[in-house]
């Protein structure tokens, strides 16, 4: 099934409980803090099923069309379809929304490439995950997730020692038909805009944290669930013109607050386990699909940034300056490098898990590391190209509504290369990339997209074939040795004879 935008908006009016500070939001599709983002997601659902994108964004199973994000890949062409769909979706937000439906949906899709992972000695949940996948795919739901403990709660011993309640979400009770979870989980980006929240753990747990190790799924309107949203980012954006990215693409982040939320067994995937919660991502294609999407999304963003860099240079004629051209060439190189590292994941795709294929894992994590390291310097480079231009603009576009001011504005702010209003529009857009609060959130977000740097590098360490690398050194070192005659005599005269 390919849901329409209207379907999706309708689904958001489901009685969900969302708070902005102490203000309870009745309808996220109409409240100004969320309505534009909701509209963006709805539009995404419509575009995806439009004639232009139908083939790129969906596939046929039996007689039904499904969104491509639900496709478990068995061939390189399947991987290509997944990737193209992610690119099309990312292009719709210029990569500004990270938690579009393809992300967590991709995780869940990846999990059915090896459902056996979900069976332990005590619990057999493999059918749960397959059925949940079917359920979501057939309704084309938008899954989001909350898979991190609150920042402060990462060392649970601290709390115990200080006799404080550990704030992390955990199972507090078990019943015949399900479990009861309670506590706080972060950081449910897009949750207010989606249908479901996947609850899990991406970070290692202490061996005794089996209650925290629960993995399950709940609808956003589950009883007892409240979302505490962070502040919306578009407050300083009186009109779309003033901050076009903040205006449309604030996906929001929420703390998930559960007060005795009931989860039926069929929605439980890991239970009473401190190890498996992380492994389900990396022992199946889950992490692979989800992070290829993140690579691709970053590429869309980078393409916008490269375009803005060049336009900014063009707006003052600076694109004729050799040093500026060098910078632009370097930015273009960044884009092509990432694009190469993404395409290479298909050329070097891996046949794994049995019967399926995944994007080359090492290349994927390598690209993830690159994105994490490079967003700050890339934005800093755009900042440099902007110079003081961002401060020279009038406070807002109302000058265009006053005939005299408008004349003045158009006369004084134009350049030989660009009309005044176009420059203002361009610099406002650039500012939404480098200086607005929306830009600030993006910089923070990309740096911690996949956790702290050591986590991303940990993935790279884990996946590296160290035997291969050691083998190179060993082969070289085994090809020569200190021998009996191996001494200074061997190469007398500073190397002239031997």
Binding to a second copy (CB under 8 A) within 252-271 occurs at 253, 255, 257
Question: Which residues inside 100-139 make contact with a second copy, applying CB under 8 A?
Answer: none
2 binds a second copy (CB under 8 A): no
| CA 413 vs CA 319, 409, 433, 436: distances in Å | 19, 6, 21, 22
| CA 115 vs CA 28, 128, 283, 418, 491: distances in Å | 35, 9, 10, 58, 64
Min. distance of Cβ 58 from a second copy in angstroms?
A: 22
50 binds a second copy (CB under 8 A): no
244 binds a second copy (CB under 8 A): yes
Can you tell me the distance from the alpha carbon of 183 to that of 173, in angstroms, rounded to the nearest whole number?
Answer: 13
75 binds a second copy (CB under 8 A): no
351 binds a second copy (CB under 8 A): no
Min. distance of Cβ 461 from a second copy in angstroms?
A: 3
| CA 106 vs CA 86, 102, 207, 284: distances in Å | 10, 5, 28, 11
Closer residue to a second copy (CB): 71 or 346 = 346
Residue of 274, 259, 116, 267 lying closest to 177 (CA atoms): 267
Can you tell me the distance from the alpha carbon of 168 to that of 214, in angstroms, rounded to the nearest whole number?
Answer: 11
Can you tell me the distance from the alpha carbon of 498 to that of 495, in angstroms, rounded to the nearest whole number?
Answer: 7
Question: Which residues inside 392-431 make contact with a second copy, applying CB under 8 A?
Answer: 392-402, 405, 408, 411-416, 421, 423, 425-426, 429, 431
Question: Which residues inside 458-497 make contact with a second copy, applying CB under 8 A?
Answer: 458-464, 466, 468-473, 476-477, 480-482, 484, 486-488, 490-497
Closer residue to a second copy (CB): 85 or 327 = 327
Closer residue to a second copy (CB): 141 or 153 = 153
Count Cα atoms within 13 angstroms, Cβ side, for 7. 13
Q: Which residues contact 411 (CB under 8 A, 6 or more apart)?
A: 420
Min. distance of Cβ 6 from a second copy in angstroms?
A: 21
Can you tell me the distance from the alpha carbon of 76 to that of 80, in angstroms, rounded to the nearest whole number?
Answer: 6
Can you tell me the distance from the alpha carbon of 373 to that of 367, in angstroms, rounded to the nearest whole number?
Answer: 10
Residue of 337, 318, 423 lying closest to 378 (CA atoms): 337
Q: Which residue matches tokens 């599709």?
A: 29
Out of 29, 109, 215, 345, the residue judged to bind a second copy by CB under 8 A: 345
Closer residue to a second copy (CB): 275 or 453 = 453
444 binds a second copy (CB under 8 A): yes
Min. distance of Cβ 126 from a second copy in angstroms?
A: 31
Q: How many residues bind a second copy (CB under 8 A)?
A: 172
Closer residue to a second copy (CB): 159 or 265 = 159
């Amino acid at each position: 099934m390919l849901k329409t935008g209207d379907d999706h908006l309708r689904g958001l009016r489901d009685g969900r409980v969302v708070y902005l500070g102490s203000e309870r939001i009745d309808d996220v599709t109409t409240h100004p803090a969320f309505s534009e983002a909701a509209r963006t997601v709805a539009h995404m659902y419509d575009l995806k099923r439009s004639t232009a994108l139908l083939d790129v964004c969906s596939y046929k199973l039996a007689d039904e069309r499904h969104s491509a994000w639900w496709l478990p890949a068995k061939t390189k062409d399947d991987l290509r379809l997944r990737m193209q769909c992610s690119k099309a979706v990312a292009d719709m937000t210029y990569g500004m929304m990270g938690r579009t439906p393809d992300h967590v949906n991709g995780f869940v899709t990846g999990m059915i490439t090896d459902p056996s992972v979900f069976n332990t000695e005590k619990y057999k949940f493999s059918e749960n995950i397959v059925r949940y996948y079917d359920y979501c795919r057939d309704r084309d739901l938008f899954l989001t997730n909350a898979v991190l403990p609150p920042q402060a709660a990462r060392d649970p011993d601290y709390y115990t020692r200080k006799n404080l309640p550990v704030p992390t979400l955990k199972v507090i009770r078990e019943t015949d038909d399900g479990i009861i979870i309670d506590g706080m989980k972060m950081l449910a980006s897009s949750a207010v805009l989606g249908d479901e929240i996947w609850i899990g753990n991406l970070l290692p747990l202490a061996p005794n944290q089996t209650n925290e190790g629960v993995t399950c799924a709940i609808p956003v309107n589950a009883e007892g669930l409240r979302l505490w949203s962070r502040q919306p980012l578009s407050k300083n954006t009186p009109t779309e013109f003033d901050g076009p990215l903040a205006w449309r693409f604030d996906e929001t982040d929420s703390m998930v607050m559960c007060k005795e939320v009931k989860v039926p067994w069929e929605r439980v995937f890991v239970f009473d386990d401190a190890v498996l919660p992380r492994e389900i991502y990396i022992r199946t294609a889950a992490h692979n699909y989800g992070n290829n999407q993140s690579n691709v999304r970053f590429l869309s963003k980078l393409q916008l940034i490269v375009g803005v860099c060049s336009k900014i240079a063009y707006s003052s004629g600076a694109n004729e300056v050799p040093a500026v051209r060098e910078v632009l060439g370097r930015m273009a190189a960044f884009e092509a490098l990432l694009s190469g590292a993404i395409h290479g994941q298909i050329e070097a795709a891996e046949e794994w898990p049995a019967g399926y294929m995944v994007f080359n894992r090492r290349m994927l994590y390598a690209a993830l590391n690159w994105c994490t390291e490079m967003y700050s310097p890339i934005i800093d480079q755009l900042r440099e190209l902007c110079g003081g231009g961002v401060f020279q603009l009038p406070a807002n576009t109302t000058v265009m509504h006053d005939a005299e001011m408008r004349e003045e504005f158009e006369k004084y702010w134009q350049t030989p290369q660009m009309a005044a209003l176009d420059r203002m529009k361009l610099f406002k857009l650039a500012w939404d990339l480098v200086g607005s609060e929306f830009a600030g959130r993006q910089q923070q977000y990309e740096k911690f997209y996949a956790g702290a740097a050591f986590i991303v590098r940990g993935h790279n360490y884990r996946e590296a074939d160290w035997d291969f690398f050691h083998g190179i050194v060993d082969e070289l070192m085994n090809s020569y040795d200190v021998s009996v005659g191996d001494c200074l005599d061997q190469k007398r005269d500073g190397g002239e004879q031997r």
